[in-house]
Amino acid sequence: MNTTATMLAHMAPCRDTTPEQLAQLIDMHLGELREKKPNWTLAASTVAGRGVFATRDIVAGELIFRERALVVGPTARKGQLSTCVCCHRLLPTQGFLCKQRCTLPVCAACSGSVTHRAECEHFRRWQPKDADAEEEQVNPLSLRILTAVRVFHLGKEQRHLVDAMQANAERGFRQEIIKAAQCFRNFPTTDKPFMDQLFRIVGVLNTNAFEAPCRTDGRETLLRGLFPLTAIMNHECTPNASHYFDNGRLAIVRAARDIPKGGEITTTYTKILWGNLTRGIFLKMTKHFMCDCTRCNDNTENGTYLSALFCREQGCRGLVIPVQTRTLQPDWRCLSCENVFPHSKMARYQDFALNTINNRINSCSVPDMIHFINDLCPRFCPPSNYVLIEAKLNVIWRMTRFDTDQYTTEEVAHKDRYREDILAILHKLGAGECTLKKLITEEIQ
């Protein structure tokens, strides 16, 4: 059997897997992390496909499950390219590519590891074009395909589990593969069974994988991880469960609110503080569905007005909010003067606020950021708008997680006030013991 045929041999097509079959594969995957009497089960969901359900009443804060990643790889994001593909440590600026010329960034300690040897051989067989380049450079397009390549090296049951997961069909995924293939001289593009399987794996990864933060040597890297059970949870914009990751490789899921026996356990695929439209666009573009949860159907967003902008009518500083829900191009109406504005106009205004605030986040020191939030932002952005809330969050992160600078009592007081503002919003949303609350109260790191 040739190598591609060997790789495909275990890829039994079990796409119409029942929840029972899926549960068996998940049990094997969980191994010793599976509780003797789990408080969850898998079943068909009225929301979408299969979902995770409570087998008994679960109280807020209670552990639901923990699971290890089935496969992890690099996100191949800009700024994280020269990180070892195995241990994720930052690599030296020179001599960081594999000495075997597979073109993957790997540290000396990991270069001989079982994981790397398999993928190194795979890449070399495909003959990376960059192998002859004079300058050492990581190619994000070929690096991105690495997680999919690692799926081919999983065991039989693990590969069945990948095959049992949902894969949204999207043209963009094929583009991802075509672009990666162009980085090699000998990519098996004419091998249809292999290409079909690769397309499906990339679909599974894009539909289900998480970006899980991992801290190594005091530096945070995002890993691309497939956590199958965590991924089976369907989405709700203010979910009843929260997930977080322990060093990129372990997902921990806890109840954010009380969940009654039989209730579907949900998580969020977006940031919880994003406004309705931002979440809607993200879910449509990346997960290919329109959410129909209670929050999405309320244009005040539980009275948080996270999407609100200032009225564009002269002399009026009222709040303008989208009129219709469940559309990505709503009309907007001012709550004070009742004028209606087309979405195109308000979208430009929202983009302006987003870009202005993001530029500051990327270029300002913490004290400058505090001045910007307190004194300049209120001139063009309502205090309830999610972009301004995200700026406050950024100050909290920088002051508590990444920065060793000393701050004045006044700056610390601003940070504490921002934290209170965000906790009040989470409370209005009914987010319960969500991950963001635990992060900003430093209950989890």
Ligand X SMILES: C[S@@+](CC[C@H](N)C(=O)[O-])C[C@H]1O[C@@H](n2cnc3c(N)ncnc32)[C@H](O)[C@@H]1O
Q: Does 4 bind ligand X (CB under 6 A)?
A: no
CB count, 10 Å around CB of 397?
A: 13
Stretch that binds ligand X, among 43-51, 174-182, 342-350, 395-403 (CB under 6 A): 43-51
Could you tell me the two tokens for 2?
Answer: 């040739």
- Which member of 8, 29, 39, 50 binds ligand X (CB under 6 A)? 50
Q: Does 166 bind ligand X (CB under 6 A)?
A: yes
Question: What CA–CA distance (Å, rounded) separates 11 from 249?
Answer: 24
Binding residue (CB under 6 A) for ligand X from 183, 231, 387, 429: 231
Site string for ligand X, 203-222 (x = CB under 6 A): ----xx--------------
Of 14, 47, 354, 444, the one binding ligand X by CB under 6 A? 47
DSSP 64: E
Tokens 């995957």 belong to: 29
* Beta carbon of residue 227, minimum distance to ligand X (angstroms, whole number): 10
For the CB of residue 65, give the shortest distance to ligand X in the complex, in Å: 15
Tell me how far, at minimum, the Cβ of 408 lies from ligand X, in Å. Answer: 45
In whole angstroms, give the CA distance from residue 414 to residue 80.
Answer: 31
Choose among 404, 405, 402, 69: nearest CA to 220.
Answer: 402
Q: Please classify residue 103 by burial: count the beta carbons closer than 10 Å to its beta carbon, then call 0-12 exposed, 13-18 middle and 19+ buried.
A: buried
Binding-residue total with ligand X (CB under 6 A): 19
Residue 284 contacts ligand X per CB under 6 A: no
Please, what is the Cα angle at 137 between 133 and 142, to 5 degrees? 95
Shortest separation between residue 209's beta carbon and ligand X, angstroms = 9
Contact flag: residue 289 with ligand X (CB under 6 A): yes
Residue 233 CB, shortest distance to ligand X, in Å, is 7
Taking CB under 6 A as the criterion, the residue among 33, 48, 63, 376 binding ligand X is: 48
SS3 content of the chain, % helix, strand, coil (to 5): 40, 15, 40
| Burial degree of 91 (CB within 10 A; 0-12, 13-18, 19+) | buried
Q: What residue is closest to ligand X based on CB? A: 49
Contact residues toward ligand X (CB under 6 A) are 45, 47-51, 165-166, 168, 207-208, 231-232, 234-235, 287-289, 291
